[in-house]
Structure 1
Amino acid sequence: MTTADALDALLTGDGTETVDDAFSTAALAALDTDEEFPSRAVRVLDEAGLPAHYVLSDGAELPETVRLLRAVARRDLTVAIAHGKTFLGTAPVWVAGTAEQITDLAERVRAADAVCWGLTERGHGADLLAGELAAVAEDSGGWRLDGEKWLINNATRAALACVLARTDPAGGARGFSLFLVDRQRLPEGSWRNLPKIRTHGIRGADISGFALDGARVPADALIGGEGDGIPIVLKTLQLTRIAVGALSLGAADHALRLARDFAAGRELYGRRLADIPHIRRVLGRAATSALLAEAVSLLATRSAHTLPGELSVVAPIAKAYVPTVTQETLTTLGELLGVRGFLTSPPGGGFAKLERDHRICAIFDGSTVVNRAALLNQLPRLARQLRRRRADTDGVRAAADLTAPLPPFAPDRLSLLSVTGCGAVQSLPDTVERVRRTGPPELAALTGPLLDELDLLEKESATFVPVAGGLPSTAFDLAERYERAYAAAACLLLWQENPDLRTGPLGAGALWPRACLTALLGADDNAVSDAMAGVLLDWNAPEFTLLGGAA
């Protein structure tokens, strides 16, 4: 296993690049132009030990996995997506596999065998209950799989595939099962690769599919029980939706660096661009948005260990919020870069590719709309819990305390619906009270409007009833407001529980939480934005983060 700092040092090298470097800008740009898979870069990550961090059953912690993938995404999103797909493909086994399945798969993953997740099919999109790939039980005790999976990441390269199959012809929520298919153990000719799909972004990724024809697998290929496929998928998505945030955080790091360097080095009418007030505010607000996304990701990833029973709420919040905020940030920074943001070669610095590649992040593992719908379907329960103000305070504070040891991942505690609601949001009034007691006054002053927003959200959510067959467009405003409440709670909890986050240029005068709350309230504070821009312009670490860095 490796660490995020060690991996980042490996990928950065000595700061010089040649076309022979697997992670050089030139090499990655050439692969993108030719729509070729980044095999050498993936091999570097394999040799560095990154696959071991995908094995959640054996001590790996989701926050560190996310931070590692962020380091890769900061260099190239295509590589991060291509390599990180193994985490998605293996997660169902960590959630519901037998001890033997977990042990065997962990060994294969550490040996750098790629794993894909065969969920979607041509013509059915996100409607998993419409899946046609079928698995039929045989007298031998094994299963025969027939059908296609399409738009699958790493479908051609994968040594193993976690496949969702219809095991009851009638379908329904209990009509599907999951199988771990080992291509090496299949009868010859029973697996056929489908052609690579050309995509707008991540052009070099292996987005394709596979067809199974008489693919016989042993009884021990079944993950969980027969008919457990959809529940296992839904629980697994609670992990993968949070992990996808790593891609957005890395993209934000890359974009902020490009924009910072451009603004600091460009002169306009004899004046440095970074000294123009409007430009500074654009930079400051973009930096704030990046920290908001990071705060949500930090609390969500740690909650996978400390509050796994609440992930049915936390995961869709993180998946809807983090990529959306990041894409908005990329759009804003693209406007700042102007024509350079459209260039695919220097001096563009790769921004056009970055912005194009990131668009897929909002779609992975359920689009923003799908995730907000998942949140809205639980909103009546969340409204009741919000009214009661009950929360697992210990679990919430352990999630927020970045120095607290994390308990091992406990898949048996995952739930399709959160009985306890969302502790971070429900405890927000108590968190505000603690912030008001300890100050500083500038931060405490923002908590009044924040609680007003929470009270209004509580009242309007109390009358909301999910509608069978679809949700009105106006309902999605409630989901967005709940996401902002979670983001506010994440910021205040992290501030309160981590003295280290109250130091340095970001912590001085509570700069970062003030900037974040101001943004969440939809207000403008030019002085705060200007101060955030100043910190960003002086930052010299590879990632702009709450977790440390030199300024």
Structure 2
Amino acid sequence: MTTTAPPIDTHRVDLGQFDRVLGDPGEDGTLMSFARCAELDRREEFPADICRELDLMGLPRLYVPAAFGGALTRYDDLIGALRSVARRDLSVAIGHAKTFLGGICVWLAGSEEQARGLAADIIAGAPVSWGLTERGHGSDLLAGEMAATPEPDGGYRVQGEKWLINNATRSPLLCLLVRTRPEGGPRGFSLLLADKRDLPEGRWRTLPKVPTHGIRGADISGFALDDCPVPARALVGEEGAGLETVLKALQITRTICAALSLGAADQAVRLARDFAGQRELYGRKLIELPHVRRTLGESYAALYACETVTAFAARAVHTLPEEMSVISAVAKSYVPTRADELITACGELLGARAFLTEVHEHGAFQKLERDHRVVGIFDGSTFVNQHALINHFPVLARGHHEATGNEDAVGRAADLAAPLPEARLDRLSLLARGGSSLTQGLRVATGELRALAGRTEGLCRVAELAEELNNRCDRLHGELALSPPASQYVQPEAFALARRYEQCFAGAAALRAWLLNREPDDDGLWLEAVLTHVLRALRPAGRPTSGEVFDRLFDAIEGGSAPAFPNAAGAR
């Protein structure tokens, strides 16, 4: 099919227009209609034609920073575009966006010549694969066995294989993490940008596609290099700096992964709401039943919470790069987990139709549920990201006690109308030494809300929730200070603390977003719903929590009176 979308240029992307051009997936004949994507899923076929159309629309240009000739100037724009794709089909979004993940290390550490050469390939439509994982090692990158031995006359001989790699077969370009010191260690790994088109035949091979439960059409495979010569110009950054570069790159890619979960959540809520509006039960529409309204209302609240975390994280790349080790870990753990919960709740409303493959929008829900399960694993699993938070407990506690956060940077990240500075990826750090400015400023934000509330009943109620969140956040940081030092064998209690920290972070992000983006007549309804949603997870087990705010949120959204989150790009 031919699209009429204007190509993406170097000015800011019009996300609303991009979303409209992609069309309604419920209508046959659109680029990513439910019918078309369901058929590809049944055949376990890669969506090559759809990806080709996205190439023609210029989406690959958003994977390339403007400094190298692309259109990427703001990471929230990239997230918005990928969310639009993901809300139609996750397999397409995952398969296409992998190129950004494959190129990010070159944007961070590559030479000008490497970056411009790779940019030209990406803009021309060449996918790039990121070769990190190997059989038997999973997320343990220090255990990687693919070895690159230096040649006397320059270049390397590479031996080993990478496995469970997205686009490993399709991509002509491979960004490889390789062992360059036999003993390994933090300085024992380097990055090579290998071009299959330049490698000698017989020295490399692709591995078979791995059948998967979800994203069935994705090219999840691998490749092996057999004493394969790779030229010296393939080295990305300094020899021995590969692991550090990868860990910094993951701070960006983990943030971008939240777009996949937001798109999946959008689609789940839409499918459940549409079904509930059509289905009759006990002589009434399903949507008229109190339990259904409550479930959808809380799903909207969860979606608002995920949006605030994601928007803050994307903009923090520009304003708080030194803290992205914490922010990205929260985003990658919190957003996919909440989206999984939301999808499960929506599936319960659909009943049997949540499992059937050829009814209600061509079985879109069961495909969505299968596809999204893998998002929590990408770029470090939920436990890996929570472990990263646990490693930060001492600095989070110290920073909270000393209150040294950057209030100005928090404000620019949370104010969605504020201009963003150029992203300084060179300022990314493996440790957020000052802790988290967002949670450190929660008391200040709570005071601002209290001052706004005055005698307005609705806002007074919201201010009380914010005060409770602030008190619980203070107590949590006291517990973080007493937590034993992180080690290889982390106790389960530490993961529980990490989950509570994520909830505090989400509540703080929502409060800042509301304060800085509210309309004059905004009664704080969506913020009240998000804070209630967050506090449910922070309060002691067994304490009853009223859910009537979710009923009010549902009614407001159904009646068109609830303000959409400003970064939603047509989500509802």
> Structure 1 length normalisation: TM-score?
0.95
Look up the SS of the partner of 1:208 in the other structure.
strand
Structure 1 window deviating more from structure 2 (284-293 vs 56-65): it is 56-65
2:44 alignment partner, one of 13, 32, 35: 35
State the secondary structure of the residue aligned to 1:445: helix
1:53-102 per-residue CA deviation (whole Å, 9 max, x = no partner) reads 11135343111101100000000000000001001100111111112211
Q: How does 1:19-98 map to 2 (within 5 A)?
A: 22-56=31-65, 58=67, 59-98=72-111
Q: Deviations over 1:222-242 (max 9, x none)?
A: 111110011001000000000
- The runs of 4+ residues in structure 1 deviating greater than 4 Å are 538-541, 543-546, 548-551
Asked if 1:375 corresponds to 2:389, the answer is yes
Give the equivalent residue in structure 2 for 1:513: 527
Which has the larger displacement, 454-463 or 528-537? 528-537
Q: Assess if the C-alpha contact under 8 Å between 2:80 and 2:569 holds in 1.
A: no
- Find 2:184's aligned residue among 171, 176, 182: 171
Q: CA deviation at 1:200?
A: 0.6
Distance 1:7 1:166 in 2: 42
**Which of these residues, 130, 136, 140, is aligned with residue 123 of structure 1?**
136
Q: CA deviation at 1:473?
A: 0.6
Query: After the TM superposition, which residues 169-248 of structure 1 pair with which residues of structure 2 at under 5 Å, given as runs?
Result: 169-248=182-261
Tell whether 2:465 aligns with 1:451: no
1:491 aligns with 2:510: yes
Instruction: Give the CA deviation at 1:535.
Output: 3.5
Q: 1:303 aligns with which of 310, 316, 324?
A: 316
Q: Is the 8 A contact 1:343 1:352 kept in 2?
A: yes
The answer on whether the counterparts of 2:16 and 2:570 sit within 8 Å (CA) in structure 1 is: no
Q: AA paired with 1:233?
A: V
Secondary structure of the 1:75 match is coil
Q: What is the DSSP-based 3-state SS (H/G/I as helix, E as strand, rest coil) of the residue aligned with 1:116?
A: strand
Question: What is the distance in 2 between the residues matched to 1:190 and 1:291?
Answer: 50
Whole-angstrom distance in 2 between the partners of 1:200 and 1:102: 35
Opposite residue 327 of structure 1, the aligned amino acid is D
CA offset at residue 333 of structure 1? 0.8
Q: 1:470 aligns with which of 489, 502, 513?
A: 489
Percent identity, please: 49
Q: Deviations over 1:262-291 (max 9, x none)?
A: 111112122121111111101100111111
Determine helix, strand or coil for the equivalent of 1:360: coil
Report the residue type matching 1:72 in the other structure: V
Give the 3 Å change call, closer, same or farther, for CA 170–448 of structure 1 in structure 2: same
**Is the 8 Å Cα contact of residues 43 and 217 (structure 2) preserved in structure 1?**
yes
Contact 1:52 1:60 in 2 (8 A): no
| Residue of structure 2 in register with 1:361 after alignment | 375
Structure 1 residues 99-108 or 529-538, which shifts more? 529-538
Question: Equivalent residue for 2:22?
Answer: 11
Post-superposition Cα deviations, 1:351-377, rounded to whole Å, max 9, x if no partner, equal 011011100011001111110001101
CA–CA separation in structure 2 for the residues paired with 1:151 and 1:339: 32
Which stretch of the first structure deviates more once superposed, 342-351 or 452-461? 342-351
Equivalent positions of 1:532-551 (< 5 A) are: 532-538=553-559, 547=568
Whether 1:524 aligns to 2:538 is no
Shift of 1:155: 0.2
| Residues 19-56 of structure 1 deviation map (CA, whole Å, 9 limit, x = unaligned) | xx542211211111111100011111111100111113
Measure the CA separation in 2 of the matches of 1:540 and 1:145. 60
Structure 2: which 5+ residue stretches go unaligned? 1-7, 454-458, 537-543
Larger deviation, residues 194-203 vs 57-66: 57-66
**Distance apart, 1:545 and its partner CA:** 6.8
Shift of 1:217: 2.0
Q: Check whether the contact 1:536–1:544 (CA below 8 A) recurs between aligned residues.
A: no
The answer to whether 1:427 aligns with 2:436 is no
Superposed displacement of residue 383, structure 1: 0.3
Amino acid at match of 1:444: A
Match of 2:420 among 406, 419, 425: 406
Q: May I ask how many residue pairs the two structures share in their alignment?
A: 543
> How far apart in 2 are the matches of 1:85 and 1:274?
38
**One-letter amino acid matched to 2:422:** P
Partner-residue secondary structure (3-state), 2:360 = coil
**Amino acid paired to 1:530:** D
Distance 1:452 1:545, change over 3 A: same
